[in-house]
Structure 1
Amino acid sequence: MAKQPNILFIMADQLRADYLGCNGHPTIKTPTIDALAAAGVNFTKAYTQAPVCGPSRMSFYTGRYAFSHGATYNNVPLKISEQTMGDYLRPLGYRVGLVGKTHMKKDVEGMQRLGVDPESSRGVLLSECGFEPYERDDGLHPDQSVSPDLAYNNYLRELGYAGQNPWHEWANSGEGEDGEVLSGWYMRNCNLPARVKEEHSETAYTTDRAISFIRESSDQPWCLHLSYIKPHWPYIAPAPYHDMYTADDVVAVNATEQELENLHPVIQAFMGHDESVNFSREDVRQRVIPAYMGLITQLDDHLARLFTFLKEIGEYDNTVIVLTADHGDYLGDHWLGEKELFHEASARIPMIVHDPRAQANDTRGREDSRLVEAIDLVPTFVELAGGKVPDHILEGRSLLPLLQSGVVEQWREFAISEADYAWRKARFALDLAPDQTRAIMITDGRWKYVHYEHFRPQLFDLELDPYEQRDLGQAPAHADQRERLEQALYDWYRLRKTRTTISNETVANMTGKAHARGYLFGLW
């Protein structure tokens, strides 16, 4: 193996941790991902730093909590001053590319203030979250005008898929009995096959582009962020994946009448959203979830194709592979749809790492239940590349010790996830101002505590209540746990890394040396 391994950083948008065979789903077919877990380490208690696309990804890319980087929701620009994994890996000799989605919003005002041309080489990197945008595709709204540089739409047009927006009209729509286009945005249509051929679908195309990037990167080590849009909505799959699963494969909903008693105000407000109202219907779940599962199996099949390509060109054994997701999907659990809140269905993510090096032989096939966070990947990648982790900036911890010997003297005690629901209709139902909508979760692996500004907390015992059906946020018998975890949150806030412009090593070397530098204050 080369001294600097390639890094294949795969993210599947909205992929629930428990919708993989290796994580216990009873019927889903994910043999490729299962084999990856069997050859690597499967971190079974990994958490996103924010259970919504934008802020989650900004934490993945910066190695910092949402509180620190400030991009707390979709389309909140990431500050131009924030460094990302490309900034850390390029100086180490890596080509750092993107194929797929980032949901990053560029800091236009920051670039204007500093006189940075967005079209310059530096401006492009700042606009694309530090990645070389080999191909960025965040998906489109059905009524959105088509960007001229959206390559997937152009690709579909060249293949004869007509229309202003083939992404919507072909890849994300079905067809009625009379040939009418039925949008996949409407969940009633997700049992239909997408109009596009499977080999031209988003997942297939994204995989093709990843193969092209890898083929063109033979002259240096590379880090490719391969970011699939699916199984994120619209929930519609091409044949044969659209009917691969049936209602018999739908796991029973994790929602009980008990949860509706003494509802937390924020949960109740989210239950009023359209996605929650509809996913609370069993007929909706039985139509949507088979399509969701089909999209996951389609992803698995294309990963098999990608891994076969890596083996054919002799790079599989020289490539560290990470498979994860930005967040989960409620799918009706807890009477909710979408994500954003902190139940396991939403905040826990898959995290599988395959390190082919001999140093990782002792941990192959291991399920590791230690608390892992999304922000751990950047320091892991820096160490893999042979760099020094800038510990005054990065707030995650390198996973290399867990991937190699598995022996770590002291690992983290808590995992954190944050939410800012200022943009959601729930804010109106709760009569909150935009700066009153923060929530934060802390868990030690057993106890999960959620602090909401202006509202009472929630508390769950994941050992005795793994399905999170009993909210102990007001239970007198558990006041000590709530107090302990609230204090832990306060401690966490105090320890955020805000002195990011000078390293701890520099500070240490300057300590107590003012007189030697000529500052003779305090002398007689």
Structure 2
Amino acid sequence: MSRNTVRNILFVMCDQLRWDYLSCAGHPHLQTPHIDALAARGVRFDRAYCQSPICGPSRMSFYTGRFMFSHGAGWNNYPLRVDEWTLGDYLRPLGMRVALAGKTHMKEDTDGMARLGLDPVSEHGVLVSECGFEPYERDDGLHPDRSADPDLAYNRFLRQKGYRGDNPWSSHANSTESDAGETLDGWYWGHSNGAARVRDEDSETPYMTDRAIDFITEMGDKPWCLHLSYIKPHWPYIAPEPYASMYGSEHILPVQRNAREEAEAHPVYAAFMRHKDSMLFRRPEARETIVPAYMGLIKQIDDQFGRLMKELERLGRLDDTMIVFTSDHGDYLGDHWLGEKDLFHEASVRIPLIVYDPRPSADATRGTVSEALVEAIDLVPTFVEAAGGAVPVHRLEGRSLQPLLDGRDVVWRTYAISESDYSGRDARADLNLAPMDARCWMLRTDRWKYVLHETFRPQLYDLEADPGEFVDLGADPACEGIRAKLKEMLFDWFRNRRLRVTISDEEIVRRTGGADRQGILIGYWKPSDP
């Protein structure tokens, strides 16, 4: 391996893992020693933000290195345009095999592919359909009985292990049993305190870890980028033993909400409070049932991550592999009177991000915690630079983390951005909004969090005086100047999106003055003119 490049990249993502549910981030009861060990080898970015707090658009930003505003895939199953470049498009020309084991939540642009005559089962068509990844094993982890896929690889695996039924993903891996032996469907969150009807080693997280190890072993000394995308701790909140009974109510962090939030709720916030998931978390037993299962699923991820790291060490890959551990978004778990995600409180929009760079240049920062405001879109340029490529800044909107990994003194960004298109959520219908009006944007600085709504008044939080985000200053006359300043910053961000993606700044500079050189003479009087 060259001292200036990495040979391999392991890009690990969890689904719906909160930034603060790791022991290295300060959780007092949930011990995650293997993830903590990665943080000790690399840098933990404590203020990392996803570009949209919902699975699909967040992942499309991770994979394109572009904001949701630019790539346009604003919610789950909103297709990513066929012309968008993704991680594989950047890394394959650098000699890497770029593969997926797990979830992407990618929806292909079938209309765009048809317009171009691109066969979806051709080699290139598959890559376009799979967000640029070779699907070593694609599994988005949402397989209820009404959409059962008997040929799903994981279902075949479970049947080979003796679990019966067309869809053992649903009936075994994500269901539990009553004392009387009755199968209890894990889609009902009230069943989350039961153990999954599969052995630990047969559940989803160990299975996908096995597939990752299979891929890495098969690759030998050939360079690769593997996106290991765990389905958990996303609901259904069902964990196998021993994880199902590992945590109890005594391990649950106090809920973060207060009466003022509800009494003075912003209209959009109030509409999300009326969602079924939010109303469910008002029930006294909800958090005591769900959160221990959520914690158990995270503990299982940590154990499996430790197994994967041990295998990388055995194969000699820790010396030439960049490793990233992150999540697509968080989970409210009842905080702020909310369930699920979508909005911009820290529980939802802030993500864990740990980066291990094996190169000597990163030795000075090992085991450190960075307070820089970093974004999910920073990973693609980081990977391109680490693999020895030139970062196409006319297309990528993120910024390589390499200077921060190397400990260089650089001027970093002063704010982070996230976006929400809730046109597909019940809140939009509740508020009687047109889809284009169901949008909002977050701008987060060191001190302030500003949220601009398309239809309603803005929101504003002073994170210095109110780190819990309980007091919305969006209508406070005393903060009018602050809101105006942050709105102008957001307007500046809008004006600087990378929408000219087909030609680089360097090429434009090279072409400047080219008309004269080609004999296209504009504004000359006679041949004697200079």
Query: Structure 1-normalised TM-score?
Result: 0.99
Task: Tell me the secondary structure at the aligned position of residue 229 of structure 1.
Answer: strand
Instruction: Give the one of 184, 199, 202 matched to 2:201.
Output: 199
Aligned counterparts of 2:329 and 2:284: Cα–Cα separation in 1: 23
| CA displacement, residues 409-428 of structure 1 (integer Å, 9 cap, x when unaligned) | x1111110000111111112
Residues 45, 445 of structure 1: 8 Å contact kept? no
> Partner residue of 2:381?
379
> Partner residue of 2:464?
463
> Partner residue of 2:528?
none
> Partner residue of 2:480?
479
Residues 363, 406 of structure 1: 8 Å contact kept? no
Task: Tell me the secondary structure at the aligned position of residue 267 of structure 1.
Answer: helix
> Partner residue of 2:32?
30
Residues 342, 420 of structure 2: 8 Å contact kept? yes
Which stretch of structure 1 is more off in the superposition, 59-68 or 31-40? 31-40
Residue 148 of structure 1 and its aligned partner are, at CA, apart by: 5.0
Aligned counterparts of 2:467 and 2:399: Cα–Cα separation in 1: 27
> Partner residue of 1:441?
442
| CA displacement, residues 222-251 of structure 1 (integer Å, 9 cap, x when unaligned) | 110000000000001000000111100000
Task: Tell me the secondary structure at the aligned position of residue 344 of structure 2.
Answer: coil
Aligned counterparts of 2:334 and 2:284: Cα–Cα separation in 1: 8
Instruction: Give the one of 309, 312, 317 matched to 2:311.
Output: 309
Alignment of 1:88-237 (within 5 A): 88-237=90-239
Identity of aligned residues (%): 61
Aligned counterparts of 1:477 and 1:228: Cα–Cα separation in 2: 45
> Partner residue of 1:426?
427
Matched, 1:494 2:495: yes
Residues 64, 85 of structure 2: 8 Å contact kept? yes
Task: Tell me the secondary structure at the aligned position of residue 45 of structure 1.
Answer: strand
Aligned residues: 523
Aligned counterparts of 2:506 and 2:307: Cα–Cα separation in 1: 45
Residue 220 of structure 1 and its aligned partner are, at CA, apart by: 1.8
Give the residue type in structure 2 aligned to 1:161: Y
> Partner residue of 1:83?
85
Residue 149 of structure 1 and its aligned partner are, at CA, apart by: 4.2
Aligned counterparts of 1:88 and 1:490: Cα–Cα separation in 2: 30
Matched, 1:346 2:348: yes
Matched, 1:511 2:523: no
Aligned counterparts of 1:81 and 1:325: Cα–Cα separation in 2: 26
> Partner residue of 2:399?
397
Give the residue type in structure 2 aligned to 1:347: V
Q: Which runs of 5+ in 1 are unaligned?
A: none
Residue 261 of structure 1 and its aligned partner are, at CA, apart by: 2.2
Residues 6, 386 of structure 2: 8 Å contact kept? yes
Change (3 A) 1:289 1:462: same
Alignment of 1:355-366 (within 5 A): 355-366=357-368
Residues 45, 370 of structure 2: 8 Å contact kept? yes
Query: Structure 2-normalised TM-score?
Result: 0.97
| CA displacement, residues 282-304 of structure 1 (integer Å, 9 cap, x when unaligned) | 31001100000000000000000
Give the residue type in structure 1 aligned to 2:514: K
Task: Tell me the secondary structure at the aligned position of residue 146 of structure 2.
Answer: coil
| CA displacement, residues 276-322 of structure 1 (integer Å, 9 cap, x when unaligned) | 00112231001100000000000000000000000001111211110
Residue 406 of structure 1 and its aligned partner are, at CA, apart by: 3.7
Aligned counterparts of 1:305 and 1:277: Cα–Cα separation in 2: 38
Aligned counterparts of 1:70 and 1:194: Cα–Cα separation in 2: 37
Aligned counterparts of 2:191 and 2:104: Cα–Cα separation in 1: 27
Residues 6, 359 of structure 2: 8 Å contact kept? no
Task: Tell me the secondary structure at the aligned position of residue 372 of structure 1.
Answer: strand
Q: Which runs of 5+ in 2 are unaligned?
A: 526-530
Residue 22 of structure 1 and its aligned partner are, at CA, apart by: 0.7
RMSD of aligned residue pairs (Cα, Å)? 1.0
Residues 46, 374 of structure 1: 8 Å contact kept? yes
